[in-house]
Structure 1
Amino acid sequence: MNAKDYSIRTLAHQLWESEGKPEGQAERHWRLAARLISGQKDKTPQQDQDKDKHIDKSGQKRSTDPYEVKGPPEPEQPDQT
């Protein structure tokens, strides 16, 4: 096994583990790892456009995680007892 194949194998294994070790995905993980190793983007033009939707006017990336969104604090509710 040459160094490139070893790198692809290692990355494919990491991808497999990161997805919860799903069965029947070895070929997809190998192809994705090969593209990533060779430097090819694994994105469609639509994915690039979607990525741009999460950048605000100052150039900062906005979080899409609802738990990270910072907004005004909720007002305290009156005591109902």
Structure 2
Amino acid sequence: MMPIRNGWVQGYNAQAVATESQIIIACDVTQDTGDTAQLTPMIAAANRELDAAGVTEPIGVVLGDAGYCTEAVLAGLPDDGPDYYL
């Protein structure tokens, strides 16, 4: 059961990482109600999948909605990683 604005719903929180061409390269389903804890694990999952596929070019840009943006998330982003737009 997940809390929503007007009560509860039996559901899950689905996450996906897609390329600029809209090809999904990583996905996950959680019972966490918010997205803030999902950004770092999803970027790590995308990197693992790209490595497994033999893609050597690093992720250059991460575009995510405001649900991923908190002060804690922003403070934890690596300086040497991709450009983040949240």
Question: If each structure's strand is expressed as a fraction of its own residues, which one has the higher value?
Answer: 2
Structure having the higher Rg: 1
Question: If each structure's helix is expressed as a fraction of its own residues, which one has the higher value?
Answer: 1
Q: TM-score range by the shorter chain?
A: under 0.3
Higher relative contact order (CA 8 A, sep 6+): 2
